[in-house]
Amino acid sequence: MIRLIIMEKANAMAQLHIKLLYEDEDILVIDKPAGLLSVPDGYNSSLPSLATVLGPLYPRVWMVHRLDYETSGIMVFALNAAAHRELNRQFRERLTAKTYQCLAAPTPAWAECQMNEPLRVDADREHRTRVDFTRGKPAETQAVVLGSCVDFAWLSCAIGTGYRHQIRAHLYHHELSILGDALYHQKTQPASLPVAPRMMLHAYRLAFQHPRDGRALTLQAPLPPEFEPFLSALSSRATDAGS
């Protein structure tokens, strides 16, 4: 019966392009699509959000962390108050491991980069997060190049802290922009750079301890279909450049 209920919920979420990755009596893990808010919009409450979408399926669901509207990928929710307290503690004490994947330009000169510059949230009129060596707070982003060509690169970014727009701000400080990101956008980019249908940032992996029994969980959300043509182009361009 429980399995049937979970399947029914999964089917309902699939109609909204939300993938169910894991569920038990304590937690829910989903793959959020790009273009869906995590929480209701403060100015327009009619816009769909995970809170309004999941509400009818899960009468009691607690949000633990958020993803930006344009970002896709893995999110965990608590299904009871005890799980919520424990997951909040893990996120607050930075006991979770969060890894994102993105497409960014231009291609960096490095294969791996530890970005430790301090960040300040809401640092300008556009509410951007900026590197600020005077008023910023400690932040950690470990970026690794997974593949590259002349125009752009495929990056894995593991974050040790969880500030809003952290990856976007750190990459911008290092003169990189995520493809499709209009807010943290470098002024000069090659004309041959492919046009992205969205901001190409995806929350790929999340590791944490189960709130009830403490067992280690590592869950992944596969890259969405929008990434496929870019990765194919990246592979062919890299091959062409090496021939």
Domain residue spans in the chain?
2-242
H-type alpha helices, the chain: 2-14, 50-54, 81-92, 166-173, 228-242
Classify residue 219 as exposed, middle or buried by CB count within 10 Å of its CB (0-12, 13-18, 19+): middle
Residue matched to tokens 């600020």 = 132
Averaged pLDDT, 97-108: 96
Residue 68 appears among annotated catalytic residues: yes
When mean pLDDT is compared across 117-121, 175-179, 229-233, 239-243, the lowest value belongs to 239-243
Amino acid, single-letter form, for residue 51: A
The answer, yes or no, to whether residue 71 has pLDDT greater than 90, is: yes
Which of the following is catalytic: 26, 31, 68, 151?
68
The pTM of the whole model exceeds 0.95: no
SS3 of residue 209 by DSSP: strand
2-242 falls under which CATH superfamily?
Pseudouridine synthase (3.30.2350.10)
pLDDT tens digit string along 105-160? Answer: 999 999 999 999 999 998 898 899 999 999 999 999 999 999 999 889 999 999 99
Residue matched to tokens 């990755």 = 21
